[in-house]
Amino acid sequence: MKNCPITGQAHVAIRTEKMEDTLRFYTKVFPFTLLKAAYDAPDGAKPGTVNQAILRCGDLYLELLRADEATGHGGKPGPLHHLGISVANLEDALAFLEVRGLPESAHTAPAQKTNLDPAHPYRSASVTGPNGEILGLYEIDNASYFG
């Protein structure tokens, strides 16, 4: 599509109540490599508990989110948390989607995030689809951001 600001899939985010088992499954059964993990335990979490992790296998990236209210990754039930979509520029992507019919009320404003790695901030916005699904728009290039 001409002038499309969407550049590809950023990642798929999976919510898990069994982080260690999920990490083991994707790194031992499937050949994913752990790229980054966030251990910043919010109130009530055990120190050293992984709250968020990014894994890679080829061009496929998975984000694992510990599923409980303490992490803020609770949300809707089910294992799929969101689909991450790479965009060249958030404002251009949101304007593109609005022209195509996305209501302004169906997305958040672009915001800078540092939750995974405070030394490497990135920008993102969330879009809510017609079924309540979350589509995360990320102004990052996976290969350069995660190495």
Strand residue runs (E) in 1-147: 6-16, 33-38, 52-57, 60-66, 80-87, 111-113, 122-128, 134-138
The confidence score (pLDDT) of residue 7 equals: 86
Q: pLDDT under 70 in the chain at which residues? A: 1-2, 40-47, 69-78, 131, 147
| Rounded distance between C-alpha atoms, residue 82 and residue 9, angstroms | 11
Long-range contacts of 96-103, Cβ-Cβ distance < 8 Å, separation of 24 or more: 96/3, 96/4, 96/5, 96/6, 97/127, 102/127
82, 129 contact by CB (below 8 A): no
Structure tokens at 89: 């520029």
Domain segments of the chain as ranges: 6-146
The confidence score (pLDDT) of residue 94 equals: 93
State the architecture of 6-146 in CATH terms: Roll (3.10)
85-121 pLDDT per residue, tens: 889 999 999 999 999 898 889 899 999 998 777 888 8
The confidence score (pLDDT) of residue 90 equals: 94
Environment class of residue 124 by beta-carbon count within 10 Å: exposed (0-12), middle (13-18) or buried (19+)?
A: buried
**pTM for the full predicted model:** 0.70
